[in-house]
Amino acid sequence: MFIDYSNERSLRYEMEQIASLTLTDSVQALVRARNLHDYVSAAGSEDKPQYSRELAEETEELYADTLRLVEENFYTAVSDGDWTDASRFYRSLAVFQRAPPDWNERRIAENRIAQWRTEGNTTLAELSSVRPSTPEDEAPAQDVISSLISATVTVWVDRGLSIQRGIGYANHVIGSGFFIDRRGYLVTNYHVISSEVDPDYEGYSRLYIRLAENPDARIPARVVGWDPVFDLALLKTEITPPEIFQLGSSADLRVGTRIYAIGSPAGLDQTITSGIVSAQDRRLLSLGGVLQIDAPINHGNSGGPIIDEAGRVQAVVFAGIESFEGLNFAIPVELLKLILPQLYAGGLVSHPWLGAYGKTFAPPADPESAGVSVVYCVPGLSLSQAGVPEDAVITAVNGIRVQTLEDFQQCLLMEYPGTVVRLSGYTEENGSRSPQEWYAALFARPEKPGAVILERDMQSRAFLPMFGLNLQRIGSRRQYTVNAVIRGSIGDESGFSQNDVVEIREFLPDVQNGVLLVQVQAKRRKSGYMESFIAMASSLDSPSYF
């Protein structure tokens, strides 16, 4: 599963792979060269062979070459005004204490903001200067409400005709959106406009918006950037909006805070409803928590703004549960602000990941050892390349303490794919704890991480992240014993225990719908070892992937 450094031949093969990577991905080459260098430097211990001095010098030189290459790429990005890449290269060098001395994060950020101002993008330039909401704010005045309604639009996606039993029906999607930029940019939900950008969609799709002041006019719009993970999208029209919304800061938002929702429920534009924040940090997205609100939300509200009493956007409506009145959810504005630069850059937004599955590890008797337990590593991706063993516990990212999986995810969200991170933690063997540090490069997170597991690993191994069952093969090719069960997993809820016997009968991935279906024949202790058939289903995405 990990890169094999066990003999000189495999080590030299890895050196050739790193040399090839320098032509396409200097950051990946850097982190692999550093891991190789560290391995050879530690050679001669009980479990590592001794290498020649010549080979040790070659790996040290390779590491130095990749450092120089990344530094050159940093200055090239600076020269080109590509501040995203400049930040990515700078942070990767900083992890190895090789950051260019004449630069720092603040200087890079200031240049990025200056570039946005030059381009006329005041929305991005002013993201960090937003005044947070305060308890002293009063309900928006009538003239404020009127202007905000005029900055809210109905998003209309015409999907042609839907044929049912030989009869054609008009097929359209209605949502809401709101202007954030006087150049005609507006925000909505990804799921409202998904047919415009989904490569698997093969039907007719045309995107329009309707203004509150002229609901009969359909104004063409196009999708600039989209993010299926956070369910957000940035659209562009060629009109000057009558008003724009100011993005707020939910740092001081609390349960019980009064909020207002503006949108087009059932296509009825200029609708405003009110309520409160019912709960925070509900884990309904793969990354990040969302707000639970009790403001009335219906079909058509999706993508509309949630504002505070000062009239600033605090969230974006994205979901409601029809059978539970008042149980609705919104994406916090902080998540929108986090990805807004990528949305403006255009195309699909990429989030970082390390190619692993884990859980919060929080022993009550030892809070200092709390962190993220690495349950599973995808073969050939970041953590496996870095040599992080399964059952290791990660306690810090780039020196920032993490005690929960949510902390860990938040740290990763602040980084770019293609950046190196330093992970601190420990491994434990025979009751002895050993502090560790690993260097790993962040990959772009796939929309369905589970699909990558199914491509790269064996079916029996996939049972660990998918169903929480650690299987070990016995007897026949498809028969296994359960070594361990992750508490709270699908396997745990299905009544499996350690030492149960499982035979895989059907293994049915449905990547398009994002699920894995399996049928197993099992002998479970909790059922008196009586033989039974069990069907289980698992999503190919989960907040536990990182």
Summarised one tens digit per residue, pLDDT across range 53-80 is: 788 888 999 999 999 999 999 999 999 9
pLDDT tens, residue by residue, 96-134: 999 999 999 999 999 999 999 999 999 999 988 766 555
Spatial contact of 119 and 237, defined as CB atoms under 8 Å apart: no
User: Average pLDDT, stretch 249-270?
Assistant: 82
Cβ count within 10 A of residue 527: 15
Tell me: pLDDT of 234 over 80: yes
The secondary structure of residue 247, as a DSSP letter, is B
Least confident of 167-171, 393-397, 516-520: 167-171
Tell me: pLDDT of 444 over 80: yes
Residue whose structure tokens are 């650690």: 470
pLDDT tens, residue by residue, 279-293: 888 888 888 889 898
Across 110-114, 136-140, 429-433, the highest mean pLDDT is recorded for 110-114
The predicted pLDDT at position 465 comes to: 96
Amino acid occupying residue 44:
G
C-alpha–C-alpha distance, residues 275 and 464, integer Å: 42
User: Average pLDDT, stretch 85-100?
Assistant: 96
Residue 319 — φ and ψ, nearest 5°? -160, 155
Tokens matching residue 156: 């209309």
The predicted pLDDT at position 135 comes to: 53
Nearest Cα neighbor of 235 from 306, 179, 191 is 179
Least confident of 3-12, 355-364, 443-452, 514-523: 3-12
Residue 256 — φ and ψ, nearest 5°? 100, -10
Least confident of 74-88, 182-196, 277-291, 319-333: 319-333
C-alpha–C-alpha distance, residues 14 and 1, integer Å: 14
Tell me: pLDDT of 543 over 80: yes
C-alpha–C-alpha distance, residues 18 and 63, integer Å: 10
Tell me: pLDDT of 388 over 70: yes
Angle between helices 83-95 and 105-118 (to 10 degrees): 170
Q: What is the dihedral of CA 290, 301, 333, 440, to 10 degrees?
A: 60
Q: What percent of the chain has pLDDT over 70?
A: 94
User: Which residues are catalytically annotated?
Assistant: 191, 231, 302
Tell me: pLDDT of 328 over 90: no
> H or E segment at 63?
helix 53-80
User: Which residue did the predictor score with more confidence, 326 or 458?
Assistant: 458
Per-residue 3-state assignment (H helix, E strand, C coil) for 344-407 = HHCEECCCEECCEEEEEECCCCCHHHCEEEEEEECCCCHHHHHCCCCCCEEEEECCEECCCHHH
User: Average pLDDT, stretch 39-62?
Assistant: 74
- CA neighbours closer than 13 Å in the CB half-sphere of residue 397: 27
Tell me: pLDDT of 223 over 60: yes
Tell me: pLDDT of 213 over 70: yes
Nearest Cα neighbor of 77 from 26, 29, 127 is 26
Provide the pLDDT confidence category of residue 325 given band limits of 50, 70 and 90. low
The predicted pLDDT at position 1 comes to: 42
Return the percent helix, strand and coil in the chain, to nearest 5: 30, 35, 35
User: Which residue did the predictor score with more confidence, 168 or 181?
Assistant: 181
Bridge partners (DSSP) of residue 479 are 503
Spatial contact of 241 and 180, defined as CB atoms under 8 Å apart: no
Residues 6+ away with beta carbon under 8 Å from 485: 468, 469, 470, 491, 492, 496, 497, 498
The predicted pLDDT at position 5 comes to: 65
- CA neighbours closer than 13 Å in the CB half-sphere of residue 491: 26
Tell me: pLDDT of 523 over 80: yes
User: Is residue 537 left, alpha or beta, with left meaning phi > 0 and alpha meaning psi from -120 to 50?
Assistant: beta
> Which long-range contacts does 39-43 make (Cβ < 8 Å, 24+ apart)?
39/5, 39/387, 40/5, 40/11
What average pLDDT is seen over the chain? 89
Apex 267 CA angle, 262 and 272, nearest 5: 20
> What is the reported pTM?
0.89
C-alpha–C-alpha distance, residues 536 and 466, integer Å: 10
Q: What is the dihedral of CA 502, 507, 509, 513, to 10 degrees?
A: -70
Nearest Cα neighbor of 261 from 306, 313, 309 is 306
Spatial contact of 394 and 439, defined as CB atoms under 8 Å apart: no
